[in-house]
A and B are shown apart, each in its own frame.
Chain A
Amino acid sequence: MVLVLALGDLHIPHRAADLPPKFKSMLVPGKIQHVICTGNLCVKEVHDYLKTVCPDLHIALGEYDEETRYPETKTLTIGQFKLGVGHGHQVIPWGDLDSLAMLQRQLDVDILVTGHTHQFTAYKHEAGVVINPGSATGSYSSINYDVNPSFVLMDIDGLRVVVYVYELIDGEVKVDKIDFKKTTASST
């Protein structure tokens, strides 16, 4: 029952002013154990806000981040799963599954979380899961102007991970759920 929040591409203050209020009211401290951020926060204040939601914060460096000391990629282990974080602008073509799978094999993780496309996607393939939480503020991207704010909450429970997707569509929060099961508890 470990809850992991994955979000990114907020682009505060350049492209968006703040998270949508409905999202903010949901993200109360005390419920979430880990936060994974794909990058492009961009300012320190956002970093501090995320820290209040949960003190265990992992951030990857995005191209607009003002704090340049974030790592470009990061791996961590939660429960039985290995997670990897990257921003995604380095993976070309942006958002391509095969290229992302390459990165996943490179990092040797079960779950890879990247962003940059501002579009929620979640792919499952034989090596594991690739998740893109989209943009939590709904800020525009260079390839997409009309973006719905979205983020992802993962519930890691033993060998099973349940991915809840929260999207703000027409002012309402819509939740979707995807189930993934790890086939083997392999250590390689």
Chain B
Amino acid sequence: MDNPLSQNPDSMWGRFFKNAELERMLDQDLTRLYPEPGSYFQKPGCQGILRRVLLLWCLRHPEYGYRQGMHELLAPLLYVLHVDVERLSEVRKLYEDHFIDEFDSFSFHENDSTYKFDFKKFSDSAKDGNGLGKGSVKFSSLGELDPRIQTVVLLSDAYGAEGELGIVISKKFMEHDAYSMFDALMSGAGGAIAMAEFFSPSPFGNSHFGFPPVIEASAALYHLLSIVDSSLHGHLAELGVEPQYFALRWLRVLFGREFSLDDLLIIWDKIFSYDNTKVNKPADNVSNSTFAALSSHRGAFISAFAVSIILHLRSQVLATENATACLQRLLNFPDDIDLVKLLVKAKSLQALAIDANNSTSPMIYPGFYYRSKSVSTRGHSLSLDLTSPRTPPNVVPDSYWEEKWRDLHKEEEHEEGVIGKLHKSRKGWSERVRLRLSRTESDQSSSKVGKIQKDQKSPVRKTLLKDLASQLRSDEDTEKTVYDGDIGHQDPVEVNGQEITDKNFGSMSEPRYLSGNAESEENSSNFSDSPSPISGSNGRQNDSGKSSIASNLSINENDPGPCGTTPECSTLPISDSPDELSLKCAQNDNSLGKSTMGMKERKFLSGKFQWLWKFGRNASEGTSEKIGACEDAKACIGGSVQNIVVGSLTADGCDSSSRISEETVEQNLMGSFRNLGQSMLQNIQVIEAVFQLDRGHTGPLENSSKNGFVGQGQFTALAALEELRKISNLLSEM
């Protein structure tokens, strides 16, 4: 017997109470939607429409229910419809004739089938000629109108003269349209991204990870970030900032809370312009984990946009010391964001995201960020942990050292006996190299860095350069597939590479840096000969909740290019357009440029960092954290300067033995100096940001004695910074 107190949730009364609960939540949210007085959304008409549409959708999809945030997805859609309808009525008023369905200047009543033909009216109007409206503008033909007005008129053409669209927008059907649009958005229209899934707490059917889709999408975001900017990603992971803390809000409302309505509409235009169909993966890698969130162009763009936002806030994020401050930065946007830049950047990252998703990637899961901290003796990235050693290597572009090494071997193929070792024919290499390099702009940074250390030039290189340059513009997908095939070759190759480099560079230990993938596991065993700096630096990186710089530098333990055999291919697009690239970098939006520089600079410095770090570390441990970091950075930067000199010398020396013209060398050097200067500047900025934080925090808190100490340290650090600035200016001028 169905009674109001029945415990059965499926009973009529049970549903009644559930719906009442739904309505209550909905009403609560609606009152809080854009609550400024006079806002369009608070008008009763609009609220009524929103309420009905949302209620109906939720009742039709009881598995999702109503969640906070759905109203914020619907509101801009309704707003757009409303604006369009208003515009339509404005245009109608002005250009009334074109809207009236007059045939031979008779106007036919829309609904009136029994309209009596009034002869009197007919004769009258015929006499007047074409009756003028109440002062409406008269145009003899449609073609004379402003093209925008034309479009508006044609869209209202009930007779479908324009491609049989019929009436595209009408006031009567505004609510219907809003419902359809909202439904399409939520259900994804059969595509990969269905917004409704972001609201559901249960794991989606296709998910490989078994996590709720929004968590998975946040992980996808982080994955993309780790590809693009692994130090930033590592920093965030260290602080324990799980992606869903901020990504939940971003994804559920499609960035609705971060931007003003007008900006948001632009962003949404871009998002929705992308196709939502799933991009089919070539292989049968069903068992391999890929992100559902990334498997469509639209999804990839959304993730890419999120990553570009994070990158925009890069320096602020890096300067934060704890998770709360970091989240604060991420969740409170400055108002002066340059939207165009962000969108452009997102577009560039989007292709990367699709590729990254299509190729195999190791299993990752939320919470792995903590695990990664314990990867101490591996000497490799923090970002991903691995559930099984068998997982295929990651697609992520590896350190510039790998590329160099690959170039090295590539060169060997062509000029045998130069290095005297490896020989394995690797046709895939050049492609792989190209792939790696063409993947992100950040790769170019490594190429620039490599310039400094080159010694061996060969005619081969020129061809390689040209190849790469062309590859940079070519389709990434084809590269991708080739690349996938070659992944398997990597490991043994790297082993040999390690041996080679070690042989040549005796004193410097060169752990190879691999950003977060299976290779790290397999290679770690090969790095027996350089355990101490690795573990040392790892120890450093593990117990640094410290300054972001230290963590940055310690994360990428790259070999400083021993100025010996490092091949040049990574310096690729050089001869073609060395400056073009640096310019390009400069022209990219600031965040991108910074990240590029940062990456490059980091890679570049890491090696110097290595042997200077030993000195720096001892010093730093004795002092306060920040000071230590500054000294480290200073040491590193100082070391880098030294190495530049060394590098240039060796480069010069090598020039004589090379067959490439010295001009290119010169150009390369110049470019690299400039880049170095820029990267130093960026580093300085980060340090300064840290200082500002520091001053802000410690000023009022510490007692006088400590103040004195800290003040001293600050002074020295600031002085060091000044000097660095000067150096960087010099370099950039060169």
Which residues does A use to contact B, with CB under 8 Å? Answer: 1, 3, 25-27, 31, 153, 155, 164, 166, 175-177
- In angstroms, Cα B26 to Cα A88, docked, is 45
Q: Name B612-668 residues within 8 Å CB distance of A.
A: none
Q: Which residues of A contact B16 (CB under 8 A)?
A: 1
Q: Give B contacts to A, CB under 8 Å.
A: 1, 3-7, 16-17
> B4 contacts which of A25, A164, A176 (Cβ < 8 Å)?
A164
Are B17 and A177 neighbours in the complex by a CB distance under 8 Å?
A: no
Is B3's CB under 8 angstroms from A164's CB? Answer: yes
Check A177 against B5 for contact (C-beta < 8 Å): no
Partner of B3, one of A1, A25, A166: A166
Residues of B within 8 A of A3 (CB): 4
Q: Which residue in chain B gives the minimum CB-CB distance to A1?
A: B16
- Complex contact A177–B3 (CB within 8 A): yes
| A1 contact set on B, CB distance < 8 A | 16
Asked whether B5 lies within 8 Å of A153 as measured between CB atoms, the reply is yes
Provide the bound-state CA to CA distance between A4 and B89, in Å.
51
Which residues of B lie under 8 Å from residue A155 when comparing CB positions? 4
Bound-state CA distance A177–B3 (Å) is 8
| Separation of A164 and B6 alpha carbons in the complex (Å) | 11
* In the bound complex, CA of A26 to CA of B17 (Å): 14
Taking CB as reference atom, which chain B residue is nearest A165? B3
Closest 6 interchain pairs by CB? A26-B5, A175-B1, A175-B3, A164-B3, A3-B4, A153-B4
A27 to B3, CA, bound (A): 12
> How far is B1's CA from A175's CA once the two chains are assembled, in angstroms?
7
Chain A's nearest CB lies how many Å from the CB of B270?
44
Q: Is the CB of B17 within 8 A of A25?
A: no
- List, sorted by A's number, 21 A–B pairs whose CB atoms are closer than 8 Å: A1-B16, A3-B4, A25-B7, A26-B5, A26-B7, A27-B5, A31-B4, A31-B17, A153-B3, A153-B4, A153-B5, A155-B4, A164-B4, A164-B5, A166-B3, A175-B1, A175-B3, A175-B6, A176-B1, A177-B1, A177-B3
Taking CB atoms, residues of chain B closer than 8 Å to A164 are 3-5
Residue of A nearest to B1 (CB): A175
B4 CB contacts on chain A under 8 angstroms:
3, 31, 153, 155, 164
**Minimum CB–CB distance for A6 against chain B, Å:** 13
Inter-chain contacts of A26 with B (CB < 8 A):
5, 7
A176 to B1, CA, bound (A): 8
Chain B residues within an 8 Å CB radius of A176: 1
The interface centre, meaning the residue of B1, B3, B5 with most chain A CB atoms within 10 A of its CB, is B5
How far does the alpha carbon of A176 sit from the alpha carbon of B3 in the complex, in Å? 9
Please give the distance in Å from B547's CB to the nearest CB on chain A: 53
Q: Which residues of A contact B7 (CB under 8 A)?
A: 25-26
* Inter-subunit contact A31/B1 (CB<8 Å): no
B728 smallest CB distance to A (angstroms):
66
- Taken together as a complex, chains A and B put the C-alpha atoms of A155 and B16 apart, in Å, by 13
Determine the chain B residues whose CB is within 8 A of the CB of A31 once the complex forms: 4-5, 17
Give the chain A neighbours of B6 by CB distance below 8 A. Answer: 175
* A124 → B minimal CB distance (Å): 20
Closest Cβ–Cβ distance, residue A175 to chain B (whole Å): 4
Distance (Å) between the CB of A9 and the closest chain B CB?
A: 20
Chain A residues with Cβ under 8 A from B1's Cβ? 175-177
User: What is the CB-to-nearest-CB distance from B729 to chain A, in angstroms, rounded to a whole number?
Assistant: 69
* Inter-chain contacts of A177 with B (CB < 8 A): 1, 3
- Nearest residue, chain A, Cβ from B5: A26
Bound-state Cα–Cα, A26 to B3, Å: 11
Given A26-B5, A153-B4, A166-B5, output 17 extra A-B contacts at Cβ < 8 Å: A1-B16, A25-B7, A26-B7, A31-B4, A31-B5, A31-B17, A153-B3, A153-B5, A155-B4, A164-B3, A164-B4, A164-B5, A166-B3, A175-B1, A175-B3, A175-B6, A177-B1
How far is the CB of A158 from the nearest CB of chain B, in Å?
16
Contact partners of B3 in chain A: CB under 8 A: 153, 164, 166, 175, 177
Output the least CB separation between A120 and chain B (Å). 15
Q: How far is the CA of A25 from the CA of B6 in the complex (A)?
A: 10
Interface centre among A155, A164, A166 (most CB of B within 10 A): A164
| Distance, CA A26 to CA B7, complexed state (A) | 7
Please, how many angstroms separate the alpha-carbon atoms of A92 and B1 in the complex? 36
C-alpha spacing A8/B695, complex, angstroms: 69
Closest CB in chain A relative to B13 CB, distance in Å = 9
Closest CB-CB distance, B691 to chain A, in whole Å? 55
Residues of B near A175 (CB, < 8 A) are: 1, 3, 6
* Minimum distance in angstroms from A167 CB to a CB of chain B: 12
> Least Cβ distance of B412 to chain A in Å?
77
Whose C-beta in chain A lies nearest to the C-beta of B13?
A31
Q: How far is the CA of A25 from the CA of B5 in the complex (A)?
A: 9
